[in-house]
């Protein structure tokens, strides 16, 4: 592959590099005229040189996508412009040249990079102004140590080509089938990029796998697909996204994350998302957790216009455990509709959900959760806690947890609180000589601490700084 083309044109270059260059241009042009059609799905599959089963999967997904209505139970999606999805396969047209020009990146985003202390090269990448961040050396050494362990960590498109048996077994059938929801179906038809992680039985991956190291892969995409498989007794931590704002022209993201935690394995999935505020972030993330396995979700949802995100754990095996931790911040014009779903399908399963939200300047945060305990699942334990700080009276905080319990000896607890930052705590800090801004920041740090402490150090530092910035001007 020609490295210079890659650098210059980013991920489109990957497609342009494929033998059917003309077809891509054709697809793009056609798409702009006709919107979403089944022909475009077919051509995408052809351009990628995919096997028949994947092509069938895409076509089937597309049929489901067409048959399902846009969900109306959540945030208002009426402004969602499906036509913008046409941008998926971009021709190198004058009006839509990728990457974005650094000059086009809004000042507020540049300012945030500056204050977070993001290195120059990363800034350009995050702003979409460069698709490559030179971490090749680091990545190579990482890749070697992983390969030695038998761990597969690669991008999804390569996985389809190189590990068809594994991908075929797990891809969008048992965990998130295309029929799950409209956006999963859309994803199934148009998915591209994302990561594939396979950890063989008994292997404990010594360090977190970070997509950060893989920036030279087309990992960040509109429809990225992440597939993580931890075989029996394996352990892996996967970190996606970063706390710095990620500027993009795309108006919608419909990613799918599928995780399989086999017997006695342990998977931690950490994701910090900070899309620019024009983005509809509509993801489907789900894990199937087998006997005695542990699944941990750690998430931060910042940025974006509308977020609908409810990571789900299906506890299928006896003794399986799930932990969901999430921070959401909603500012002016933002709607964060997030939460967690846990299905206890086997005995002795347990789950813990902690959600911390902050809303301000008219932002809306909503916790929407579902807890289900099947009739034959005995001795199930679950605890849900959601707290919200509501900074001003323009903002809204809502909690809608659903608990559907069909087993007689489940122990289920749920607690929620909504309120302002405690005047007493602020007063105490200020009476000890700390100024108002600093006092507020300390209280907020304390509020989100249970989740931030689960993040790796560099993320925790950035997260704290970011929340501090978000809270600026909230005093008095």
Partner 1 sequence: MPGDIPLEQAARDASSFLGEPEWLLNARLSAVALLEKRNGKAEISGFRLSKGKLHVSTRTEGEVAILTIAEALKRGNALKEQLGRPLTGKEPDDYLLALALFTGGNVIAVGGTAPASVFLEMAGGAPDYFATFFLFANDSTAAVFAKSSFAINTHEARALFLGRGATAHFCALQENGEKADTVAGMVARLGEGSSLKFLNSNIGSNEKKDGFLFLQDGRGSRCEHYEVSLARGRQKFSKSSFHFHSAPDTFSRSVFKYATAGSSQVNVDGQVTIEQNAPGSDTHLLAKSLLLSDDSMSKVVPQLYVHNADVAAGHGSALTPMPEEELFYLQSRGVGESESKLLVLQGFLQDVLVKSEIEPLVLRTLSEELEKDALRVFPRD
Interface pick for partner 1 out of 142, 416, 430, 442 (rule CB under 8 A)? 416
- Joined tokens for residue 293: 């396995």
Cβ-Cβ contacts under 8 Å for 389 (sequence gap 6 or more):
357, 358, 359, 419, 420, 421, 444, 447
Report 214-253 residues binding partner 1 (CB under 8 A).
none
Question: What distances in angstroms separate CA 295 from CA 194, 323, 325, 453, 462, one per listed residue?
Answer: 20, 6, 11, 17, 24
CB of 383 to partner 1, least distance (A): 10
Cβ-Cβ contacts under 8 Å for 198 (sequence gap 6 or more):
151, 152, 153, 163, 166, 229, 231
Instruction: Report the DSSP beta bridge partners of residue 87.
Output: none
Give yes or no for residue 398 binding partner 1 (CB under 8 A).
Answer: yes
Interface pick for partner 1 out of 33, 94, 144, 375 (rule CB under 8 A)? 375
Cβ-Cβ contacts under 8 Å for 195 (sequence gap 6 or more):
153, 154, 155, 156, 211, 214, 217, 219, 224, 226, 227, 238, 240
Q: Residue 203 — φ and ψ, nearest 5°?
A: -85, 130
Give yes or no for residue 396 binding partner 1 (CB under 8 A).
Answer: yes
Give yes or no for residue 434 binding partner 1 (CB under 8 A).
Answer: no
Q: With contacts defined by CB under 8 A, how many residues of the chain interact with partner 1? A: 33
Give yes or no for residue 417 binding partner 1 (CB under 8 A).
Answer: yes
Give yes or no for residue 392 binding partner 1 (CB under 8 A).
Answer: yes
Instruction: Report the DSSP beta bridge partners of residue 240.
Output: 271
Dist. CA 258–CA 230, nearest whole Å:
11
CB of 76 to partner 1, least distance (A): 15
Give yes or no for residue 409 binding partner 1 (CB under 8 A).
Answer: yes
Give yes or no for residue 72 binding partner 1 (CB under 8 A).
Answer: no
Would you say 33 or 375 has its CB closer to partner 1?
A: 375
Stretch that binds partner 1, among 9-17, 51-59, 241-249, 402-410 (CB under 8 A): 402-410
Give yes or no for residue 419 binding partner 1 (CB under 8 A).
Answer: yes
Give yes or no for residue 414 binding partner 1 (CB under 8 A).
Answer: yes
Give yes or no for residue 395 binding partner 1 (CB under 8 A).
Answer: yes
Of the candidates 388, 382, 334, 384, the residue with the CA atom closest to the CA atom of residue 356: 388
CB of 370 to partner 1, least distance (A): 10
Would you say 221 or 401 has its CB closer to partner 1?
A: 401
Give yes or no for residue 146 binding partner 1 (CB under 8 A).
Answer: no
For the window 81-100, what string marks contact with partner 1 as x by the rule CB under 8 A?
Answer: --------------------
Dist. CA 255–CA 283, nearest whole Å:
5
Stretch that binds partner 1, among 67-75, 324-332, 395-403, 446-454 (CB under 8 A): 395-403
Interface residue list for partner 1 (CB under 8 A): 375, 388, 390-420
């Amino acid at each position: 592959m020609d490295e210079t083309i890659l650098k210059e044109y980013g991920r489109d270059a990957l497609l342009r590099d494929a033998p059917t260059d003309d077809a891509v241009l054709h697809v793009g042009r056609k798409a702009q005229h006709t919107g979403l059609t089944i022909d475009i799905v077919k051509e995408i599959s052809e351009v990628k040189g995919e096997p028949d089963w994947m092509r069938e999967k895409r076509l089937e997904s597309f049929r489901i996508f067409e048959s399902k209505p846009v969900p109306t139970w959540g945030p208002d999606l009426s402004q969602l412009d499906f036509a913008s999805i046409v941008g998926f396969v971009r021709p190198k047209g004058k009006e839509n040249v990728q990457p974005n020009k650094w000059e086009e990146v809004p000042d507020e985003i540049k300012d945030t990079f500056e204050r977070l202390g993001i290195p120059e090269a990363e800034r350009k990448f995050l702003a979409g102004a460069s698709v490559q961040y030179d971490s090749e050396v680091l990545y190579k050494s990482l890749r070697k140590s992983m390969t030695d362990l038998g761990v597969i960590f690669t991008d999804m498109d390569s996985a389809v080509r190189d590990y068809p048996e594994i991908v075929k077994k797990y891809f969008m059938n048992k965990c998130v089938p295309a029929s799950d929801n409209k956006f999963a179906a859309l994803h199934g038809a148009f998915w591209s990029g994302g990561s594939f992680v396979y950890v063989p039985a008994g292997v404990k991956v010594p360090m977190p796998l970070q997509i950060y190291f893989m920036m030279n892969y087309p990992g960040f995409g509109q429809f990225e697909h992440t597939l993580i498989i931890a075989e029996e007794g394996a352990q892996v931590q996967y970190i996606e996204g970063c706390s710095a704002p990620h500027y993009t022209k795309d108006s919608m993201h419909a990613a799918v994350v599928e995780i399989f935690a086999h017997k006695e394995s342990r998977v931690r999935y950490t994701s910090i998302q900070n899309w620019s505020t024009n983005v509809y972030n509509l993801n489907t993330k789900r894990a199937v957790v087998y006997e005695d396995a542990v699944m941990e979700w750690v998430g931060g949802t910042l940025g974006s216009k509308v977020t609908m995100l409810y990571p789900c754990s299906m506890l299928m095996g006896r003794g399986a455990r799930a932990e969901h931790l999430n921070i959401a911040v909603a500012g002016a014009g933002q709607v964060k509709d997030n939460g967690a779903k846990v299905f206890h399908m086997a005995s002795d399963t347990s789950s813990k959900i902690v959600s911390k939200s902050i809303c301000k300047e008219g932002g809306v945060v909503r916790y929407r959760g579902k807890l289900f305990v099947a009739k034959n699942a005995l001795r199930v334990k679950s605890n849900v806690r959601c707290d919200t700080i509501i900074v001003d009276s323009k903002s809204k905080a809502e909690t809608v947890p659903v608990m559907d319990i069909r087993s007689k000896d489940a122990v289920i607890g749920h607690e929620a609180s909504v309120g302002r930052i405690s005047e007493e705590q602020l007063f105490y800090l200020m009476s000890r000589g700390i100024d108002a801004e600093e006092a507020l920041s300390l209280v907020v740090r304390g509020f989100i601490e249970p989740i931030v402490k689960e993040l790796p150090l560099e993320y925790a530092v950035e997260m704290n700084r970011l929340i501090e910035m978000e809270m600026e001007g909230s005093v008095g």
